[in-house]
Amino acid sequence: MSQAFGLDFGTTNSALALARTDDSIELARFGAGSTFRSILYFEEDEASRSGKLRVVAGPDAIQSYLHAREPGRLIQSTKSYLASRLFSQTQIFNQAYSLEELIGVLLRYLRQSAEAQFGALGDKLVVGRPVHFSGTRTQADDDFAVARLRKAFAIAGFDEVQFLPEPVAAAYKYRQRLDHDELVLIADFGGGTSDFSLVKLKPAQASPSELPDQVIGNDGVGIAGDTFDSKLVRHLVAPMMGLGSQYKNEFGKTLPVPNWLYEHLERWHYLSFLKTRKNLELLRQLQFHALEKPKLDALIDLVDHDLGYRLYQAIESVKCSLSEQATSQFHFKEAAIAIDQAVARADFERWIAGEVAAIAACVDRLLDNCNIAAQDIDAVFMTGGSSFVPAIRTIFETKFPKATIRAGQEFTSVAEGLALYAREQLG
């Protein structure tokens, strides 16, 4: 092969890289950036007499959603459902789609965008996968998720797909900077999972006979950026939309507004499922009997106007701000919703303390299973959006005081590593 491709299909963002035989690596460009939002947007096609839907993905999905005259359906975080046997299909307007079909549509759109830059990608591809998919409990769950993902890639025209754990792919990228052997802990933080690998790496310039790089062990946990976002939603947004409020039923009994509504609000990939006729009718009934009607009005506006992406932008903005400063201000003003609230990093870290502890425990478990002491680690390489969160960085600075903590290209290093692996293994 004169060129090899690696694709990092992510819960929130995806990236594709090309590795050529001349050692150059090129990232696919999607609009103004090198990441492709893992989002689909469906709307009714006014020009179609058959009731066919129009669907776009990535940057085009965002633009269509933001400028739609009539509300459509925004689908995101499809990767989070791969291990769920309960998700077989969903109804979008008048058409049913399986999960594999939804992901296949997104991947086909991403492929077409990349081929405008690179030409034909062919049918072979190396794809990243989490060590453990979100929501898995057993190896059978992970195998089930991989099988569904393989089917989705086949729908997009990729018949020969090789999967590689995402932190191992990041190790291939990290190896490019080495001039000596290192025992490295790779920490890859995605939208749905946090994955870790212990790898004994040799410099990229080593001869083929000196390569095989040794992956000592892998582990992962279904906690990452989406979980941190949900904590901000729970504390900054949900109380303003009725969490903890009450309503009176037809018998005059005072009851709490159902908590499951706010569990959907906190999970980006569930929020769009609130927008069904049945759920909207329930929300309007609750609003009619609510003791704090404006809060239920705000929740209905959020769902009915499909404001999930705009809410996500506001949450992401305050989360990034808290990575750089001790306090920030959360702003969200859309339709009848107006939230303006101060938030401190100390509060955010208190809200995510349990999840941070679970991530730290996963790292400890990996070290124990591999019989590796923390002081033996030469370097920690962190990639992915949550690697910017100070509480996450503190885990590694505390556990590995002798190790060099490195980061870089947090959103694209996995894709580049996958392409390097593809060139090495498939070339």
CA–CA distance, 258 with 186 (Å, rounded to integer): 41
What pLDDT score does 210 carry? 47
String of DSSP letters for 327-350: EEEEEEEETTEEEEEEEEHHHHHH
Spatial separation of the C-alpha atoms in residues 419 and 425, rounded to whole Å: 10
Mark whether 156 and 234 lie in a shared domain.
Answer: no
Question: Which residues, other chains included, contact 342 with Cβ-Cβ below 8 Å and sequence gap of 6+?
Answer: 327, 328, 329, 330
Residue 114 has pLDDT above 60, yes or no: yes
Task: Please give the model's pTM, rounded to 2 decimal places.
Answer: 0.80
C-alpha distance from residue 10 to each of 56, 224, 304 (Å) = 17, 12, 27
pLDDT tier, 134 (very low <50, low <70, confident <90, very high otherwise): confident
pLDDT at 241: 93
- The predicted model gives 194-214 an average pLDDT of 71
Of the three residues 350, 378, 395, the one that is the final residue of a domain is 350
Return the pLDDT at 206: 58
Q: Which range (176-180, 195-199, 203-207) has the least confidence?
A: 203-207
Residue ending a domain, choose from 321, 350, 379: 350
pLDDT in tens, 54-85: 899 999 998 888 888 777 888 888 898 899 98
How many domains in the chain? 2
Does residue 186 sit within a domain?
no
User: Do residues 155 and 283 share a domain?
Assistant: no
Instruction: Please state the rounded mean pLDDT for residues 321-343.
Output: 92
Q: What are phi and psi of 30, to 5 degrees?
A: -125, 95
Q: Please provide the average confidence, as pLDDT, over all residues in the chain.
A: 88
Question: Which backbone phi and psi does 65 adopt, to 5 degrees?
Answer: -65, -45
- 73 with 15, same domain: the answer is yes
Is position 121 within any domain?
yes
Do 17 and 147 fall into the same domain? yes
CATH number at residue 132: 3.30.420.40
Average pLDDT in the 276-303 region?
92
Position 420 in a domain: yes
Residues 132 and 276 in one domain: no
Q: Report the alpha-carbon distance of residue 263 to residue 259 in Å, rounded.
A: 7
Residue 238 domain boundaries: 226-350
Query: Which of 191-195, 270-274, 354-358 has the least mean pLDDT?
Result: 270-274
Q: Are 213 and 168 in contact (CB under 8 A)?
A: no
Residue 103 has pLDDT above 70, yes or no: yes
- Hey, is 11 helix, strand or coil? coil
Residue 381 domain-assigned?
Answer: no
Domain end (from 330, 350, 370): 350
Residues 262 and 328 in one domain: yes
Rounded to an integer, the average pLDDT of 90-116 is 92
Distance CA 3, CA 215 (A): 25
